[in-house]
């Protein structure tokens, strides 16, 4: 029987477009120091360290877990690096979760980061494509994401206006998030009139490129009390994949996300996600993805996402607030983004989300994903 695992400490950097004052190692250290302080622990209390980063071409340091080892206290401890594209942060947390749930560690430090200011982002992402098949036509992940949003418009009604509302909501929420660095409210008209980058994706549908790091301390039930009397308990966490180029792959509803949600909801006793969850954090690389996730996560039926956003239900004061943190719209250090979503969900159920606290949040849903929409994961957290 798997053991209970809780999040007992969280930390993130004040994310920025470009941090020239610290190296990648220094950036990670800031998040680690904050997470350990939050958990009232020192690095001596940590049994195992997970390092999660995006593709190494983002920042030109191969095998970065070696480079940051001194900074994160990994010396003479078990260390593994996990990478899984944009969902790396959640995949890193999942690795730590397994270690504790399986009884192999009491406390695990999970660190995730990317310093995207250092490299050529879309070019790096284009190298994720098969060199024989499509790379020469790749536009990072933006061309692809925009293309399937265009397809969802016709079938599911994910209009440009609906996506713009997601951007307006998330930018507004980011205003109160002390760690976000994009702090400017926008209007639906401004989104619609912003410069097309990969139409239908326009400039204001796109998150920033960020330097940032995040860290969490995961703990067994036995060891948790030393850190907090109110951990964020992980009720379920999973990360699922679909074949990249298989026959008849549907890109309209995210099949791996729907699968992950179904499995994890069952484990966590969720039968009506819209009613049961108090708060949701999703990793929305572009505004259009948040609409798709509403449907894949079962917050509404396929084809109802535009109605859900325009109803106001996913606003801070709605019945199912999505991204009180502002999501990726406020900061998007890709490798860290999934772990940041987990941190924001955990902070809500731990009651320490500050200005972005949803009152009495007891049950949080967290989504993350990466790798060409192939890889999607969810976590359910409870007070």
Q: Which stretches of the chain bind other proteins, using CB under 8 A?
A: 19-26, 29, 43, 57, 59-60, 70-73, 75, 115, 117-124, 126-127, 129-140, 142-151, 154, 195-201, 243-249, 251
* CA–CA distance, 300 with 285 (Å, rounded to integer): 20
Of 156 and 258, which has the nearer Cβ to other proteins?
156
Residue 194 Cβ vs other proteins, minimum distance, rounded to whole Å: 11
- The answer to whether 219 touches 227, Cβ cutoff 8 Å, is yes
Which CB atom, from 9 or from 140, has the smaller least distance to other proteins?
140
Distance CA 300, CA 149 (A): 18
Quick one: which H or E segment has residue 266? Answer: helix 255-268
| Smallest distance from other proteins to CB 336, Å | 16
The answer to whether 348 and 61 are in contact (CB under 8 A) is no
Nearer to other proteins, 23 or 357 (CB): 23
Measured from the CB atom, the residue of 68 and 378 that comes closer to other proteins is 68
Judged by CB, which is closer to other proteins: 81, or 115? 115
Q: Omega of the bond prior to 200 within 30 degrees of 0, cis? A: yes
Token representation of residue 313: 């239900």
Give the residue with the Cβ less far from other proteins, 59 or 334: 59
CA distance 112 to 183: 23
| Separation of alpha carbons 300 and 293, rounded Å | 9
**162 vs 288, which CB is nearer to other proteins?**
288
Q: Where do we find the tokens 């008849």?
A: 248
Closest separation between CB of residue 9 and other proteins, Å? 17
The C-alpha atoms of residue 49 and residue 93 are separated, in whole angstroms, by 10
Minimum CB separation from other proteins for residue 175, in Å?
27
Supply the minimum distance, in Å, between the C-beta of residue 322 and other proteins. 25
Distance of closest approach, residue 75 Cβ to other proteins, in angstroms: 7
Q: Which of 155, 89, 181 is nearest to 306 (CA)?
A: 155
- Closest CB to other proteins among residues 44, 317: 44
As measured in angstroms, the least distance from the Cβ of 162 to other proteins is: 17
CB 122 → other proteins: shortest distance, Å? Answer: 4
C-alpha 109/C-alpha 74 separation (Å) is: 9
Angstrom distance (rounded) from CA 11 to CA 36:
8
Name the 3-class secondary structure at 50.
Answer: strand
Q: Are 171 and 290 in contact (CB under 8 A)?
A: no
């Amino acid at each position: 029987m798997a053991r209970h695992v809780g999040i007992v400490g969280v930390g993130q950097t004040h994310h920025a477009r470009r941090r020239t004052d610290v190296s990648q190692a220094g950036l990670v250290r800031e998040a680690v120091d904050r997470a350990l302080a939050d958990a009232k622990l020192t690095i001596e209390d940590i049994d195992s360290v997970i390092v999660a980063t995006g593709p190494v071409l983002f920042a030109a340091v191969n095998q970065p877990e070696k480079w940051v080892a001194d900074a994160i206290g990994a010396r003479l401890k078990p260390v593994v690096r996990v990478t899984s594209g944009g969902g790396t942060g959640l995949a890193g947390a999942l690795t730590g979760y397994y270690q504790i749930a399986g009884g192999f560690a009491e406390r695990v430090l999970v660190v995730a980061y990317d310093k995207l200011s250092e490299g050529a982002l879309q070019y790096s992402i284009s190298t994720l494509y098969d060199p024989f098949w499509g790379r020469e036509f790749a536009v990072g992940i933006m061309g692809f994401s925009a293309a399937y949003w265009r397809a969802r418009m016709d079938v599911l009604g994910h209009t440009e206006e609906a996506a713009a509302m997601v951007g307006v909501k998330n930018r507004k929420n980011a205003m109160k998030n002390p760690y976000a660095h994009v702090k400017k409210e926008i209007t639906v008209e401004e989104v619609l009139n912003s410069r097309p980058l990969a139409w239908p994706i326009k400039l204001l549908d796109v998150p920033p490129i960020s330097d940032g790091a995040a860290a969490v301390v995961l703990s067994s039930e036995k060891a948790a009390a030393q850190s907090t009397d109110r951990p964020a308990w992980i009720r379920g966490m999973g990360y699922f994949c679909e074949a990249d180029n298989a026959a008849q792959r549907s890109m309209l509803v995210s099949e791996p996300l729907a699968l992950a949600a179904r499995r994890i909801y069952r484990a966590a006793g969720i039968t009506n996600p819209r009613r049961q969850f108090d708060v949701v954090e999703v990793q929305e690389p572009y505004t259009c993805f948040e609409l798709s996730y509403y449907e894949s996560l079962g917050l509404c039926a396929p084809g109802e996402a535009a109605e859900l956003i325009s109803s106001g239900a996913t606003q801070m004061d709605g019945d199912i607030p999505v991204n009180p943190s502002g999501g990726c719209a406020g900061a998007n250090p890709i490798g860290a983004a999934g772990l940041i979503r987990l941190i924001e969900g955990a902070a809500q159920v731990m009651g320490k989300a500050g200005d972005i606290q949803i009152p009495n949040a007891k049950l949080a849903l967290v989504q993350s994903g990466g790798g060409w929409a192939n890889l999607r994961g969810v976590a359910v957290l409870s007070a």
